[in-house]
Amino acid sequence: MQNDMIKCGLKEQTNSGFVDTIEKEAYVWCEKDWKHDDHEHAHQRAQLTFVEEGYQYFHIEQKIYIVPQHHVIWIPSGKAHRITSEAKTVNLMVFLFKTVFNDEFYRNVHVFAVPPVLKEMLLYASKWNQLIEEDEEQDLFFKAILKSLPNFCKESSYLEIPVPSDVRLIPVCTYIKSNFKYSLHADELAEKAKMSVRSLQRIFKNETGITLQKYLQLVRILKSIELLDTQQYTLSQIAYKVGYQSLSAFTTSYYSIMKTKPKVKKIS
């Protein structure tokens, strides 16, 4: 069955394929209170998404990337992705590029915090929202943004949760995600994987690139981002809810992952 829904100017003809009838090299699509289907899809344009408010999870291949407020994600052309979020409000700017420069950067997924100069450039670009007619200033400006991205990007690999392909590790990851506020016991996790503690630690590190303890830390901090977005809790309450015994321990852990201190969002 065909579905002619328009998303970001692209016509979705199936649940995963889009038809691009726009001739422009690049354009921007801004929307307040963004709503996304959560099925996997791909399109033949490279995508730069700026999260102005809220947060989003991008499920791409064997990784889950979180894109918090004032971060961007770069997704190469043709890369299948699925998007989820439980944020109260998600305000996004999506830039779509038909062609990119010949550089290794543009062939990989990247998530990084937006430095002030890039943020101002992206917000200025909102004046061309949903403009699909040719515009010389816009074309030059978007090309400048595109060319500058590798320099603005500081490989934020800390914002991705690896998904192991070894099925024996799935129950372990599921258990950690459900019990992140408690201390981990390696022997209990090993029992769930039906292997020895030593084998679990070795295989988990080989599969994901991180230790079990680092995985727990990532899950806790990403959960704290969700709680911060609700504007319902103090930092101390959030620290306790995600498994830390003190605010200072939470702040230190959060900073080591996010490279900034946690802040409770002010209600505007």
Q: Which residue has the higher pLDDT, 13 or 201?
A: 201
In the structure encoding, which two tokens stand for residue 184, read together? Answer: 């981990």
pLDDT grade, residue 159 (50/70/90)? confident
Tell me, what DSSP letter sits at residue 18? Answer: E
Q: Which residues contact 247 (CB under 8 A, 6 or more apart)?
A: 235, 236, 239
Domains of the chain: 5-159 (2.60.120.280), 164-258 (1.10.10.60)
Rounded distance between C-alpha atoms, residue 113 and residue 118, angstroms: 10
What is the DSSP code string of 106-122?
A: GGS-EEEEPPHHHHHHH
Crossing angle for the helix pair 197-208 and 212-230, nearest 10 degrees?
60
Helix (H, G, I), strand (E, B) or coil at 59: strand
pLDDT averaged over every residue in the chain: 88
Q: Which residue has the higher pLDDT, 159 or 239?
A: 239
Tell me, what DSSP letter sits at residue 168? Answer: G
Least confident interval from 8-17, 133-142, 170-179: 8-17
Would you say residue 46 has pLDDT above 70? yes
176-218 pLDDT, tens digit per residue, is 999 999 998 999 999 999 999 999 999 999 999 999 999 999 9
Rounded distance between C-alpha atoms, residue 218 and residue 189, angstroms: 17
207-266 pLDDT, tens digit per residue, is 999 999 999 999 999 999 999 988 899 999 999 999 999 999 999 999 988 888 999 876
pTM, to two decimals: 0.82
Q: Which residues contact 249 (CB under 8 A, 6 or more apart)?
A: 239
pLDDT grade, residue 123 (50/70/90)? very high
Tell me, what DSSP letter sits at residue 166? Answer: S
The reported pLDDT for the residue numbered 3 is 42
Q: Of 26-35, 81-90, 132-141, which one has max mean pLDDT?
A: 132-141
Helix (H, G, I), strand (E, B) or coil at 29: strand
pLDDT grade, residue 121 (50/70/90)? very high
The reported pLDDT for the residue numbered 1 is 30
pLDDT grade, residue 13 (50/70/90)? low
How far CA 210 is from CA of 74, 163, 213, 223, 234, in Å, comes to 23, 11, 8, 18, 30
What is the DSSP code string of 60-105?
A: ETTEEEEE-TTEEEEE-TT--BEEE---S--EEEEEEES---SSGG
Rounded distance between C-alpha atoms, residue 232 and residue 209, angstroms: 34
